[in-house]
Amino acid sequence: MPDPHIESLLVTVHGKVQGVGYRHAAVRRAHMLGVTGWVQNLPNGTVEALVQGTPDQVDQMLEWMRRGPPAAAVSELDTQRQYLDKRYGRFEQV
């Protein structure tokens, strides 16, 4: 049975977020925080991620994603709650 205390959010990150190590840094931060899911570049220049964890873990990850690594310039973060039965075992680039 899925853990009701686990949230899943689909996040789209806008700005200068490709070619600046954003995905690699996101994976490192996710591992530090214990969140699971995935991150990928989209053809339109944004980065998309599925972030899964406790509400506190997800909040901490979103806080980091609003800044990103030093070379990034995040202009906007769109989030959409997902209702998934699937639980990811780790966070990785796809």
| Residues classed as catalytic | 23, 41
User: Do residues 11 and 62 touch, judged by C-beta distance below 8 A?
Assistant: yes
- Backbone phi, then psi, for 7, in 5-degree steps? -105, 150
Q: At what angle do helices 55-67 and 22-33 cross, to 10 degrees?
A: 150
